[in-house]
Structure 1
Amino acid sequence: MFRMSETHAARRQYRVGFVADSPNFPAAWNDVVEKVRIADELGFDSVWLGESWGYELFTSLADLVRATQRIKIGAGIANIYSRSPAVLASSAATLDERSGGRFLLGLGPSGANVIEHWHGVRFEKPLQRTREYIEIIRMILRGEKLIYHGTFFKLERGFKLRFTPPRSDLPIYVAAMGPKNIIQTGEIADGVMPIYWPCTKWGDLRALLDEGARKAGRVPHSAMIAPYITTALLPENVSEERRQEARSAAAMPLAYYVGKMGTYYADMLRRNGFEAEVQAIIDGWQKGIKSAIAAVSPRLLDAVALVGTPREVVARLDQWAEWGVDEPLLTMPEGPVDEVAALLQDLKEALV
């Protein structure tokens, strides 16, 4: 087990976690579990899984709970359309009990394509639906009789959860990008989970969260900033050719999110000063994926992704933390388990 010196502990208030696997391009599951076990043994803070149209989320999270001892296990994120608030509340409470109080619940609307054409549910009023889900889940976790009158849910019979969860205040995070959603997150949640938010704009994100906190009578910094960060950890002796390959690989999902995932990410980046870069990527898609990836500028990639050796990544995380990041969530390295173990150990040592 590694320990931070008092000097570095004071400087590094941020807590590093990992996104264990891609929901769209899942790796061999046994390898995913083994990498998570290594992150647990090294003392990293959290590990998260998402979902799309692949593995079922909570079944996979249960595997990670059983395979670990200390690391927090997060749903990042469960969408707010395909499961009822009660199912999400009971799932979260069950995993929190089985993990000894280590579970984190991330929620979000996902997007219209997935919700309507995979789940077959109408995608409407995601902001209001998010609020009602969190309010109902909180009521269930507190052991209250479930009587609720909202826009989407009318619950009259007063059902109560039939066991006592270990934590009535289980942390709830929200995947939010638009200003209204971020402000609401500051009102009602414990953290925000943005994707591809530019590093120079963490202060703007904090201001929106704290505006929501004030509206709800909460203290500033009530909601943590826990961004998903596309990350490529490289060995210390990496060649320049391998470094450039890693940058190109990191640009691929960014180009996809900007050009093929609706307008959410493109609009967010435009609002944050990357209008020309967004348009270049969209224009690049007219010629195909290679042109779209090539259109990702170094300025944009460096603003939203981390590519480098463990020491280089930690140096940038230190800077990002000064700008407002609380809980950076890095991409779990790809590759054989033994190679990943070495990279994670080097990262942990760089954080000390």
Structure 2
Amino acid sequence: MDLSGVGVWSHHLRFGDPAEAGEAAAELEELGFRALWVPDVGGALFADVERLLTATREVTVATGILNLWMHSPADTAAAYASLTGEHGERFLVGIGVSHAPLIDSKEPGRYRKPLTAMRTFLDGLDEATPPLPVESRVLAALGPKMVETAASRSRGVHPYLVPPEHTREVREALGDGPLVLPEQTAIFAATREEAKAIGASWLRSYLDLPNYARNVLRLGFSEDEVAQISDRLFDALIVWGDDESIRKRIDEHRAAGADHVCIQVLTADQQGFPRAEWRRLAAALG
């Protein structure tokens, strides 16, 4: 799997109209994006991954992330073996522990000891027949303990909703070798007011989750900034502006140690595929 360059992170490719998702995936590959990342909040994840693999030829399809509370290690390893047998080594399994409010909303008290849950899940992948290879999985790691686990149990990390400062910290903790594959949200907008009109409520939904709130507090933001979504915090987590502004942020992640950056484009219509913006991004990256 070629995990250099820039990829696209998109819920549309997973939960949007299947026919358009396939067309969009093929176009994104033609535009030169190296990986297509999709989320997991339930549903037939592996069937959706297979649809994207079928629609493309060489691009990597990655889960960002596979929710370990929603899948068994044995089923995950079996799906990986089946998909790679059919489509080659193009499926990167990003695995994460999700968030207590989401998991406990359906089964109160289920979300316990997330680090232990991750290690147990990885044990299951190692013990499966056949096992899911270490080099074909990455972990959604924000804090130092999960980063440490990723270094020894996976190919690297896929941090979501992080600034370049976090990328630098993770690279320093991992050293050379493990991959650092951050997600970066982007908005094409002329002003911060326009950008916040598109992205503020979206960002609020994430900062209400304790894992993300704790992470930005670790990075030096105050509780007031998190509560109010200060301009400083908004600008750190969401890059907005013109083509050059977004290209500069990608370069900052790379300079901080990222091997690959996946861009999630937000638009005013968050249900429609942002295909014009993806084309604009590809042209900006040259």
- The answer as to whether partners of 1:247 and 1:307 remain within 8 angstroms in 2 is no
- SS state of the match for residue 193, structure 2? helix
Q: List aligned pairs for 1:56-135, cutoff 5 A.
A: 56-118=44-106, 122-135=110-123
Quote the residue 1:249 is aligned against: 198
Identical amino acids, percent of aligned pairs:
26
1:91: Cα distance to partner?
1.1
Does 1:331 pair with 2:278? no
Alpha-carbon distance between aligned partners in 2 of 1:340 and 1:257, rounded to the nearest angstrom: 21
Letter in 1 for 2:45: L
Alpha-carbon distance between aligned partners in 1 of 2:70 and 2:78, rounded to the nearest angstrom: 15
1:250: Cα distance to partner?
2.1
Question: Alignment partner for residue 30 of structure 2, among 36, 41, 49?
Answer: 41
Alpha-carbon distance between aligned partners in 1 of 2:96 and 2:82, rounded to the nearest angstrom: 20
Distance 1:33 1:231, change over 3 A: farther
Deviations 1:147-193 (A, max 9, x none): xxxxxxxxxxxxx34xxx9x845421111222211111122111212
Alpha-carbon distance between aligned partners in 1 of 2:71 and 2:108, rounded to the nearest angstrom: 12
- The answer as to whether partners of 2:52 and 2:61 remain within 8 angstroms in 1 is yes
Deviations 1:297-324 (A, max 9, x none): 2221221222233333112211221122
Question: Alignment partner for residue 347 of structure 1, among 275, 281, 286?
Answer: 281
Question: Alignment partner for residue 269 of structure 1, among 216, 236, 251?
Answer: 216
1:333: Cα distance to partner?
5.6
Quote the residue 2:233 is aligned against: 300
Question: Alignment partner for residue 248 of structure 2, among 315, 334, 344?
Answer: 315
| 43-52 or 31-40, larger mean C-alpha shift | 31-40
Letter in 2 for 1:309: D
| 182-191 or 129-138, larger mean C-alpha shift | 129-138
Distance 1:329 1:125, change over 3 A: same
Question: Alignment partner for residue 227 of structure 1, among 158, 182, 186?
Answer: 182
Quote the residue 2:224 is aligned against: 279
- SS state of the match for residue 110, structure 1? coil
Of the two, which has the highest radius of gyration?
A: 1
Provide the aligned C-alpha RMSD in A. 3.0
- SS state of the match for residue 95, structure 2? strand
Letter in 2 for 1:40: E
Deviations 1:175-229 (A, max 9, x none): 1222211111122111212222232232212222x2xxxxxxxxx3232121222
1:14: Cα distance to partner?
4.7
Does 1:190 pair with 2:155? yes
Distance 1:173 1:121, change over 3 A: farther
- The answer as to whether partners of 1:20 and 1:32 remain within 8 angstroms in 2 is no
Alpha-carbon distance between aligned partners in 2 of 1:227 and 1:199, rounded to the nearest angstrom: 9
In structure 1, stretches of 5+ residues that fail to align are: 1-12, 141-159, 211-219, 283-294
- The answer as to whether partners of 1:107 and 1:172 remain within 8 angstroms in 2 is yes
Letter in 1 for 2:196: R
Question: Alignment partner for residue 20 of structure 1, among 4, 7, 10?
Answer: 10
Alpha-carbon distance between aligned partners in 2 of 1:175 and 1:341, rounded to the nearest angstrom: 26
Alpha-carbon distance between aligned partners in 2 of 1:110 and 1:268, rounded to the nearest angstrom: 14
Alpha-carbon distance between aligned partners in 2 of 1:69 and 1:90, rounded to the nearest angstrom: 22
- SS state of the match for residue 37, structure 2? strand
Letter in 2 for 1:21: H
1:129: Cα distance to partner?
2.2
User: What is the count of residue pairs matched by the alignment?
Assistant: 283
Alpha-carbon distance between aligned partners in 2 of 1:14 and 1:170, rounded to the nearest angstrom: 15
- SS state of the match for residue 130, structure 1? helix
Alpha-carbon distance between aligned partners in 2 of 1:339 and 1:56, rounded to the nearest angstrom: 20
1:98: Cα distance to partner?
2.2
Alpha-carbon distance between aligned partners in 2 of 1:115 and 1:124, rounded to the nearest angstrom: 10
- The answer as to whether partners of 1:227 and 1:329 remain within 8 angstroms in 2 is yes
TM-score (norm 2): 0.86
1:342: Cα distance to partner?
4.3
Does 1:31 pair with 2:20? yes
Letter in 2 for 1:103: F
Alpha-carbon distance between aligned partners in 2 of 1:223 and 1:267, rounded to the nearest angstrom: 24
Alpha-carbon distance between aligned partners in 1 of 2:107 and 2:195, rounded to the nearest angstrom: 34
Does 1:172 pair with 2:127? no
